Structure 1
Amino acid sequence: MADLIKIYDENPNEREIDKVVDVLKKGGLIIYPTDTVYGLGCDITNMKAMEKVAKIKGLKLAKANFSFICYDLSNLSDYVKQIDTQTYKILKKYLPGPYTFVLPSNTNLPKAFKNRKTVGIRIPDNNIIRELVKKLGNPIVSTSIYDEDDLLEYTTDPELIFEKWGDLVDIVIDGGYGDNNASTVIDLSNDGIEIIREGKGSIDGFV
């Protein structure tokens, strides 16, 4: 059974953050708050952990559309091809925030994603998950726990999330009630801007 750990967004407790990072480094899975819906994730460098996440979601890892949660834009060059000034300006304006940006990937992607031409990058406006990524030292592979067939409370109330997912993961972080509106997904991998999904982030500046 997972541990349920309370961490506050305004001031994440360093000892609790360290505890979660330790679990991630050992290949554990965590559920954590973002600025949109709660997410399920693991250390991007741990292949076994990523396979577990894919299995929980009923997906093959190579086909899974996981996004990478980064601490800030300095992480980008690890996995993303050199981007032009215009793209960088967009990222700088809207991140951290409730957006997933699809960008052209470089050759450093984890082995499971080697054939990918693009990668989805998230920098949530949430101190808990960003502190975890910062302390871990590399991005967290992420997927939403939102399920359209499920009762809303099971994806927004940390205690009900714990009840439902506690046997599948190692830690559920209680960061308060989550949102039920996913991130807005915007593809910047080709020339131009393509809105893949409208979510919590406003698309006003993109259309």
Structure 2
Amino acid sequence: MAQLVRIYEDNPSPKELQRIAKAMKDGALVIYPTDTVYGLGCDINHKGALEKVAKIRGVKLEKANFSFICESLSDLSEYVSQIDTATFKILKRNLPGPYTFILPGNNNLPSVFKKKKTVGIRVPDNSIAIGLVQALGNPIISTSIKDEDEVIEYTTDPSLIVEKWDKLVDYVIDGGYGDNVASTVIDLTGDEPVLIREGKGSVEL
């Protein structure tokens, strides 16, 4: 059964975040708030947890397009190949914010993603999500729980989220009502930015 944990975005409890992060190190799956929709995530270094998320999503792990939730831009260099000045300026201007930027991956990606040439990076403007990454000490793998066919309340109201996901995850962090618009996805691996999905973030970069 999933534990519903109330954490306040304006003053997240370090103790609670540490407790959940410790469980994630052991393979726990967590639904948590971002600056867009609620996300389903786990530790990027726990293969068993990654496989569970892939199974829930109905995809093969090595082919899954999960995002990495990072603490800040300075974390990117660990997983992203060298990027040019123009790309860095776009990132600096828009992060933290409601974007997923697709960037060229490097050799430090977790072993299950070694065959992927790109990685989706998120730095959400949400102190709970960032605090969880800080407590964990490395990025969180993430996929949104937004489902186009579901009643909107099920993806925005934590008390209803925990009902639906009770047997699939270990924790649901209640950070208040979430949004029902996902992040804007921009591919920055080519010469020009390419819009993959228009979401909450402005496409005027």
* Partners of 1:105 and 1:161 in 2: CA distance: 32
Normalising by structure 1, what TM-score? 0.98
Tell me, in whole angstroms, the C-alpha distance in 1 between the residues paired with 2:101 and 2:152. 26
Q: Does 1:195 align with 2:195?
A: yes
Deviations 1:124-179 (A, max 9, x none): 00000101101111000000101111111110000000000011101000000000
- Partner Cα separation in structure 1 for residue 21 and residue 162 of structure 2: 19
Describe the superposition over 1:59-94 as per-residue Cα deviations: whole angstroms up to 9, x where unpaired: 110111100000001110111001111111110110
CA distance in 2, matches of 1:6, 1:16: 9
State the secondary structure of the residue aligned to 1:22: helix
Q: Which residue of 1 aligns with 2:10?
A: 10
Question: Residue in 2 aligned with 1:43?
Answer: 43
SS in 1 for 2:147: coil
1:24 and 2:24 correspond: yes
User: Given the alignment of the two structures, is residue 108 of structure 1 paired with residue 77 of structure 2, yes or no?
Assistant: no
Partner in structure 1 of residue 172 of structure 2: 172
- Partner AA of 1:20 in structure 2: I
Matches within 5 A, 1:109-188: 109-188=109-188
- Deviation readout 1:94-122 (Å, 9 max, x if unpaired): 00000000000111111111111110000
TM superposition score normalised by structure 2? 0.98
Helix, strand or coil at the partner of 2:55: helix
Identify unmatched segments of 5+ residues in structure 1: none
Distance in 2, matches of 1:106 and 1:58, equals 26
Distance in 1 (CA, whole Å) between partners of 2:19 and 2:161 is 20
Counterpart-to-counterpart distance in 2, 1:123 and 1:136: 15
Which one-letter code corresponds to 2:53 in the other structure?
V
Structure 2 counterpart of 1:65: 65
CA distance in 2, matches of 1:71, 1:134: 7
RMSD (CA atoms): 0.7
Q: Moved runs in structure 1, 4+ residues, more than 3 A?
A: none
Structure 2, gaps ≥5 residues long: none
How far the C-alpha of 1:204 sits from its partner, in A, is: 2.1
Letter in 2 for 1:30: V
Matched, 1:92 2:100: no
Query: What fraction of aligned residue pairs are identical, expressed as a percent?
Result: 66
1:2 partner amino acid: A
Aligned partner letter, 1:154: Y
